[in-house]
């Protein structure tokens, strides 16, 4: 098999991508093996021959399959040792690829298309996501599936002011900027990234660097495609009936325009819905020879699209009456809920994000167990988008890819502002409930998160806020308008969704998707300039609600005491089978977490339990020193002395000669098992054994019986 496989390679930054036109998965319509170091993945693409009946959207599915064997690991729970539901990381990679390849399909396509990327081997150095994007592009391009590719993407990091193309995991950990940029031969069509408050100019420089780099991958792919050019399947899309188009223009277009430009969202939706019903009814009754519901709905949507583009580009008029660079009405409130640890409501127009803060013990961290890494996460942001937020009825079956993606974006935006674990050891969870949505809900959750953190007393130094920007562009690409704070119609019918979050000092998170081929660096620079102005206005409103974090945590939040013990005492604190530590927890109701370096966290919402647990831990882990006076219980008796427990699991020996200031014939003449006696620590020998004395305890014996030793 290998002798017949064609192989091509290219070096880009830290990566050397090898493309193998494999015989594996031979029934897939397109397939390719991609290698980057020892990271190896198989990308496949398949399209259903027949279009989906009654479909009103392009059914594209992108699946990113993590296989634990790829990293040489057996993971999962004790009872399930196979891959099940995709991890959040896998969903995010699938979204990354989907957002890049989807705009290059003809969205009139109704045939199911599925792209599956399976990670077969991973070297723990090279992230598979960029290779997966390359594989997806080539699998489609080398298949009969009609597509306007190729696309490509690269990751850019920055360490010590130097931009790094496709940094390794280790280099990414040291970077103050981590951004993925993808696009076509001439445009950028997808951005995903985060930064530690990077100035806009620095982010733009990273994007320009990425654009130059991914174009090398485009040229590389084109050379492969030219040698192995597949015969593309031709899809005959039905022509839209001219008679219906004329009816729309003559009898409905003006009324539709008036309905779209109703400033109130609810009234707008009602008017457009009624007009659509009338349009469909008229077509079905009066134009039966050319009418089809699919064609009629398409004409209706295309007219809305044309109206919005024309009005905004020619007149700068938006459906709700705002100017292109104008924000909707903003408001911010804090401390809405009485029993939680922090809460805030951020409102932007008809978008409402209620964010709730919960603080937990260090042990409440989430364990991330995946193909790439096994780690713990102390900060969690979860985003919920219930159907009532847009006036709909849908089954509520947990978070989907959209919720996972929006939650991860907000988490990325807020993370740089959080205090380090050494200063604030709490596990932090934020939940953003979108109660009403009319665009930009993910950025509203960023603002709500910042407010809730400050309301809860989490020591963040400044606010972080975000805004979603849009774009409408004519068919020539020369005339366009950038829109600040897009809402429903502008999001649905616009050409770009550019989300930017940051502080007054710089960018912390970015995400961009397009419905067109892409945008130019000039457009991105203009968008950034408009974004900064909007962000400053948003941060000002947030600061009016609360400008600095509260000096104290909520009284409902648990308290954490941190103490250091000798790492050698960890075993004593845990006890055999966890007996000692579990006993303290059961007795006091606290939570105790221990780290390998001897750091002990005691978490409790009860002061009495906290104080008692602290005393018990100190007692168990006490460092015995020579000269100390202690009290202990006699546990064992020998002919030559007794053993005294001076702390849990810590015993010392009182030799018979140290029991009394006279010659003792029998140990039991002085003490018996169970006696509680005072002792003086005489010495701790080289082997760590504690030698005690009873006769040296001050005041133990009268002077006449206690001569100088």
* Claim to verify: residue 104 and residue 9 sit in the same structural domain: yes
**What tens digit of pLDDT does each residue of 416-475 get?**
999 999 999 999 999 999 999 998 899 999 999 999 999 999 999 999 999 999 999 998
CB 324 within 8 A of CB 482: yes
Q: At what angle do helices 265-286 and 293-315 cross, to 10 degrees?
A: 140
39-47 and 506-514 as β-strands: parallel, antiparallel, unpaired? unpaired
659 DSSP assignment: S
* Claim to verify: residue 170 and residue 274 sit in the same structural domain: no
Report pLDDT for 393.
94
**What tens digit of pLDDT does each residue of 485-506 get?**
999 889 889 999 999 999 999 9
- The percentage of residues in the chain with a pLDDT greater than 90, rounded to a whole number, is 79
Alpha carbon distance 253, 256 (integer Å):
5
Share in percent of the chain as helix, strand, coil (round to 5): 35, 30, 35
In 590-672 the beta strands, taken as DSSP E runs, fall at 591-594, 599-604, 629-638, 641-647, 650-655
Upper half-sphere CA count for residue 198 (Cβ side, 13 Å): 29
Q: At what angle do helices 128-141 and 200-227 cross, to 10 degrees?
A: 40
For the segment 27-55, the average pLDDT, to the nearest whole number, is 93
Look up the domain containing 217 and give its range: 2-227
Q: What is the CA 524 to chain-centroid distance, rounded?
A: 24
Alpha carbon distance 112, 135 (integer Å):
19
Is residue 27 in a domain? yes
Q: Which residues face 18 on adjacent strands?
A: 9, 35
Per-residue pLDDT at 22 exceeds 50: yes
Report pLDDT for 686.
82
Which helix (H) or strand (E) covers residue 55, if one does? Answer: none
Report pLDDT for 5.
82
Report pLDDT for 590.
95
Upper half-sphere CA count for residue 390 (Cβ side, 13 Å): 14
Instruction: Name the domain boundary from 315, 343, 369.
Output: 315
Is residue 236 in a domain? no
Report pLDDT for 3.
47
CB 679 within 8 A of CB 644: yes
Is residue 246 in a domain? yes
* Claim to verify: residue 198 and residue 275 sit in the same structural domain: no
pTM, 2 dp: 0.89
Is residue 271 in a domain? yes
Confidence of residue 709 (pLDDT cuts 50, 70, 90): very low
For the segment 267-289, the average pLDDT, to the nearest whole number, is 92
Work out the widest C-alpha separation in the chain, in whole angstroms: 126
Alpha carbon distance 472, 625 (integer Å):
76
**What tens digit of pLDDT does each residue of 645-680 get?**
988 778 999 999 999 999 999 999 999 999 999 999
Among 59-68, 543-552, 572-581, the minimum mean pLDDT is found in 572-581
CB 591 within 8 A of CB 615: no
SS3 at position 575: coil
Per-residue pLDDT at 258 exceeds 60: yes
* Claim to verify: residue 246 and residue 308 sit in the same structural domain: yes
Neighbours of 194 (CB within 10 A): 23
Report pLDDT for 678.
94
CB 635 within 8 A of CB 645: yes
Neighbours of 223 (CB within 10 A): 11
CB 501 within 8 A of CB 509: yes
Report pLDDT for 673.
94
SS3 at position 329: coil
Alpha carbon distance 670, 678 (integer Å):
13
Torsion angles phi and psi, residue 598, rounded to 5: 95, 5
Is residue 214 in a domain? yes
Two tokens at 639?
């002919």
* Claim to verify: residue 339 and residue 427 sit in the same structural domain: yes
676-684 and 629-638 as β-strands: parallel, antiparallel, unpaired? antiparallel
Is residue 286 in a domain? yes
End-to-end CA distance of the chain: 91
Confidence of residue 547 (pLDDT cuts 50, 70, 90): very high
Confidence of residue 704 (pLDDT cuts 50, 70, 90): low
**What tens digit of pLDDT does each residue of 160-194 get?**
999 999 999 999 999 999 999 999 999 999 999 99
Instruction: Name the domain boundary from 315, 338, 354.
Output: 315
CATH classification of the domain holding 109? 3.30.230.70
Confidence of residue 705 (pLDDT cuts 50, 70, 90): low
Two tokens at 297?
């709905």
Report pLDDT for 175.
95
Residue whose C-alpha is closest to residue 630's, from 600, 654, 657: 654
* Claim to verify: residue 174 and residue 222 sit in the same structural domain: yes
Confidence of residue 198 (pLDDT cuts 50, 70, 90): very high
Report pLDDT for 706.
52
Alpha carbon distance 46, 139 (integer Å):
9
Per-residue pLDDT at 20 exceeds 90: yes
Between 400 and 705, residue with greater pLDDT? 400
* Claim to verify: residue 581 and residue 464 sit in the same structural domain: no
CATH classification of the domain holding 592? 3.30.1370.10
Two tokens at 491?
């999001």
CB 541 within 8 A of CB 447: no
**What tens digit of pLDDT does each residue of 339-361 get?**
999 999 999 999 999 999 999 99
Report pLDDT for 397.
87
In 39-172 the beta strands, taken as DSSP E runs, fall at 39-47, 60-65, 113-121, 152-159, 162-165
* Claim to verify: residue 433 and residue 359 sit in the same structural domain: yes
For 330-366, letters b (16+ CB in 10 Å) and e give: bebbbbebeebbbbbbbbbbbbbbbbbbbbbbbebbe
Alpha carbon distance 53, 38 (integer Å):
43
**In total, how many domains does the chain have?**
5
Torsion angles phi and psi, residue 203, rounded to 5: -65, -40
Q: For 261-389, where are the alpha helices, taking DSSP H only?
A: 265-286, 293-315
Report pLDDT for 498.
97
* Claim to verify: residue 81 and residue 133 sit in the same structural domain: yes
* Claim to verify: residue 634 and residue 611 sit in the same structural domain: no
* Claim to verify: residue 336 and residue 308 sit in the same structural domain: no
Residue whose C-alpha is closest to residue 121's, from 63, 37, 19, 12: 37
Among 443-457, 546-560, 562-576, the minimum mean pLDDT is found in 562-576
Between 99 and 620, residue with greater pLDDT? 99
Q: For 183-264, where are the alpha helices, taking DSSP H only?
A: 200-227, 242-247, 253-260
Report pLDDT for 250.
93
- The percentage of residues in the chain with a pLDDT greater than 70, rounded to a whole number, is 98
Is residue 659 in a domain? yes
Two tokens at 372?
């790439």
Q: In residues, how long is the chain?
A: 709
Per-residue pLDDT at 294 exceeds 90: no
Per-residue pLDDT at 708 exceeds 50: no
CATH classification of the domain holding 284? 1.10.10
Torsion angles phi and psi, residue 582, rounded to 5: -65, -30
Is residue 324 in a domain? no
Which helix (H) or strand (E) covers residue 522, if one does? Answer: helix 521-545
Confidence of residue 57 (pLDDT cuts 50, 70, 90): confident
**What tens digit of pLDDT does each residue of 317-346 get?**
999 899 999 999 999 999 999 999 999 999
Torsion angles phi and psi, residue 217, rounded to 5: -70, -35
Alpha carbon distance 602, 268 (integer Å):
55
Two tokens at 70?
């790829």
Does residue 150 have a cis peptide bond before it, meaning omega lies within 30 degrees of 0? Answer: yes
* Claim to verify: residue 288 and residue 389 sit in the same structural domain: no
Two tokens at 74?
């057996």
Instruction: Name the domain boundary from 227, 257, 279.
Output: 227
């Amino acid at each position: 098999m290998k002798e017949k496989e064609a192989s091509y390679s290219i070096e880009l930054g830290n990566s050397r991508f090898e493309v193998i036109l494999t015989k594996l998965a031979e029934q897939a319509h397109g397939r390719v093996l991609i290698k980057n170091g020892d990271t190896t993945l198989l990308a496949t693409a398949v399209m259903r021959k027949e279009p989906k009946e009654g479909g009103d959207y392009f059914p594209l599915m992108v699946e990113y399959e993590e296989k634990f064997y790829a990293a040489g690991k057996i993971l999962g729970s004790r009872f399930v040792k196979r891959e099940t539901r995709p991890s959040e990381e896998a969903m995010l990679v699938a979204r990354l690829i989907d957002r890049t390849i989807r705009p290059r399909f003809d969205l009139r396509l109704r045939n199911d298309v599925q792209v599956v990327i399976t990670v077969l081997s991973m070297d723990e150095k090279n992230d598979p996501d960029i290779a997966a994007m390359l594989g997806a592009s080539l699998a489609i391009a080398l298949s009969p599936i009609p597509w306007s590719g190729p696309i490509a993407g690269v990751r850019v990091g920055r360490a010590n002011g130097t931009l790094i193309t496709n940094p390794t995991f280790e280099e990414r950990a040291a970077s103050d900027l981590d951004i993925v940029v993808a696009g076509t031969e001439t445009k950028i069509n997808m951005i995903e990234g985060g930064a530690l408050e990077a100035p806009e100019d620095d982010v733009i420089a990273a994007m320009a660097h990425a654009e130059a780099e991914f174009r090398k991958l485009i040229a590389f792919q084109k050379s492969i495609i030219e040698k192995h050019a597949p015969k593309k399947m031709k899809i005959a899309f039905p022509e839209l009936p001219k008679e219906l188009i004329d009816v729309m223009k003559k009898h409905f277009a003006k009324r539709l325009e008036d309905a779209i430009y109703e400033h109130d969202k609810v009234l707008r939706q009602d008017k457009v819905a009624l007009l659509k019903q009338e349009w469909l009814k008229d077509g079905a009754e009066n134009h039966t020879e050319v009418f089809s519901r699919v064609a009629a709905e398409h004409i209706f949507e295309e007219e809305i699209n044309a109206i919005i583009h024309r009005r905004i580009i020619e007149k700068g008029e938006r459906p709700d009456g705002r100017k292109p660079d104008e924000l909707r009405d903003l408001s911010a409130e804090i401390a809405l809920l009485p029993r939680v640890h922090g809460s805030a409501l951020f409102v932007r127009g008809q978008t409402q994000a209620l964010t709730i803060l919960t603080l937990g013990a260090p042990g409440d961290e989430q364990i991330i167990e995946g193909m790439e890494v096994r780690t713990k996460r102390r900060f969690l942001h979860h985003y919920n988008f219930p159907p009532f937020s847009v006036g709909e009825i849908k089954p509520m079956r947990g978070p989907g890819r959209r919720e996972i993606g929006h939650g991860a974006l907000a988490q990325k935006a807020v993370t740089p502002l959080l205090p380090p674990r050494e200063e604030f050891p709490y596990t932090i969870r934020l939940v953003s409930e979108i109660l009403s949505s009319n665009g930009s809900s993910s950025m509203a959750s960023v603002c709500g998160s910042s407010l809730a953190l400050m309301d809860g007393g989490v020591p963040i130094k400044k606010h972080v806020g975000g805004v979603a920007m849009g774009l409408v562009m004519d068919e020539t690409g020369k005339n366009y308008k950038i829109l600040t704070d897009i809402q429903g119609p502008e999001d649905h019918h616009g050409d770009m969704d550019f989300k930017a979050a940051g502080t007054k000092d710089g960018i912390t998170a970015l995400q961009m998707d397009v419905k067109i081929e892409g945008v130019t660096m000039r457009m991105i620079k203009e968008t950034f300039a408009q974004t900064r102005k909007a962000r400053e206005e948003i941060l000002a409103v947030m600061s009016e609600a609360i400008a600095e974090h509260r000096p104290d945590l909520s009284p409902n939040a648990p308290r954490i005491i941190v103490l250091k013990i000798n790492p050698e005492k960890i075993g004593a604190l845990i006890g055999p089978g966890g007996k000692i530590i579990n006993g303290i927890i059961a007795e006091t109701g606290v939570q105790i977490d221990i780290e390998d370096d001897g750091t002990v966290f005691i978490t409790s919402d009860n002061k009495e339990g906290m104080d008692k647990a602290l005393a018990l831990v100190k007692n168990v882990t006490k460092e015995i020193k020579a000269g100390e006076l202690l009290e202990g219980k006699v546990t064992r008796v020998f002919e030559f002395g007794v053993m005294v427990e001076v702390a849990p699991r810590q015993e010392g020996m009182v030799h018979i000669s140290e029991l009394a200031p006279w010659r003792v014939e029998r140990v039991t003449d002085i003490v018996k098992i169970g006696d509680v006696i005072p002792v003086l620590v005489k010495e701790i020998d080289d082997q760590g054994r504690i030698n005690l004395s009873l006769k040296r305890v001050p005041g133990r014996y009268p002077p006449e019986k206690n001569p100088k030793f």
